[in-house]
């Protein structure tokens, strides 16, 4: 049995709109293509976390911390900084592995659902950039959520509740909604609802970053082979 949990979306100004510029002193500076792959993997990771919560009631802890923490990075010097600096690639393992599966045209139900979430995130992010006032409002509310992080810890229920409230109080004005499908036993639990909304917000933030580093939807078709090569290069770094 499945249930459709309707959720809406958007994002933030400085929090969702950082303009990463790789530091020349960084010996492990990513190529432009790798930056785009990493940002896209972050979008995929957020969508994969939504799917995990909706279908199992649990989420990969490291991936969850990475996606949630990205919402509070306001002045990154590089794409890596958004996702944990030197640990960014390993922090995005779930997203990288899932992206590889999607590009391989996996026919699993999970891949189909995650792809649908990706399309929804891209659509909502495109709407978001046309509403600077909403971006400002989300940024202000995330500043409040940051105080919750300082008071408790990143994965505390109060942090998820605060981020989810930011999502609910701002993004519900959009008529387009992402339908999250899963087990009602999990989706009806308030903590899981908060986690899903938090991951969706992180997905919008990652989509913003992906577009800022030059990512475009048509790249996924025209440059698929190049994308796969860069993806394999990043995954190889994790396995080394």
pLDDT confidence tier of residue 16, bands split at 50, 70 and 90: low
In terms of C-beta density within 10 A (0-12 exposed, 13-18 middle, 19 or more buried), how is residue 57 classed? middle
Average pLDDT over residues 119-143: 95
Determine contact, residues 198/163, Cβ cutoff 8 Å.
yes
Task: Provide the CATH number for the domain around residue 96.
Answer: 1.10.3890.10
Number of domains present in the structure of the chain:
1
Output the pTM of the full model.
Answer: 0.88
Average pLDDT over residues 45-64: 98
**Residue partners of 60: CB distance under 8 A and separation at least 6:** 49, 52, 94
Q: Is residue 18 over pLDDT 80? A: no
pLDDT digits (tens, 9 = 90+) for 183-196: 999 999 999 999 99
Average pLDDT over residues 109-115: 93
Pick the more confident residue, 23 or 62: 62
Pick the more confident residue, 197 or 25: 197
How many Å apart are CA 47 and CA 30, to the nearest integer? Answer: 24
Q: Is residue 14 over pLDDT 80? A: no
Residue 223: give the domain boundaries. Answer: 3-239
What pLDDT, on the 0 to 100 scale, is given for residue 184? Answer: 97
């Amino acid at each position: 049995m499945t249930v459709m949990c309707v959720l809406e979306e958007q994002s933030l100004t400085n929090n969702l709109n950082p303009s990463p510029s790789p530091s020349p002193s960084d010996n492990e500076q990513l190529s432009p293509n790798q930056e785009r792959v990493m940002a896209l993997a972050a979008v995929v990771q957020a969508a994969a976390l939504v799917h995990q919560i909706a279908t199992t009631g649990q989420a990969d802890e490291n991936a969850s911390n990475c996606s949630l923490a990205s919402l509070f990075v306001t002045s990154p010097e590089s794409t890596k900084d958004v996702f944990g600096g030197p640990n960014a690639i390993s922090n995005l393992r779930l997203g990288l592995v899932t992206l590889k599966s999607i590009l391989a045209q996996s026919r699993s139900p999970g891949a189909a659902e995650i792809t649908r979430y990706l399309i929804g995130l891209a659509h909502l992010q495109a709407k978001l950039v046309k509403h600077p006032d909403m971006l400002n409002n989300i940024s202000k509310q995330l500043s409040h959520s940051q105080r919750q992080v300082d008071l408790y810890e990143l994965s505390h229920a109060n942090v998820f509740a605060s981020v989810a409230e930011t999502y609910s109080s701002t993004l519900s004005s959009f008529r387009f909604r992402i339908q999250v499908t899963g087990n009602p036993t999990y989706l009806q639990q308030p903590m899981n609802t908060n986690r899903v909304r938090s991951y969706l917000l992180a997905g919008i933030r990652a989509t913003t970053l992906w577009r800022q580093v030059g990512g475009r939807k048509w790249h996924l078709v025209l440059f698929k082979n190049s994308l796969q090569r860069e993806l394999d290069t990043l995954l190889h770094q994790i396995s080394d």
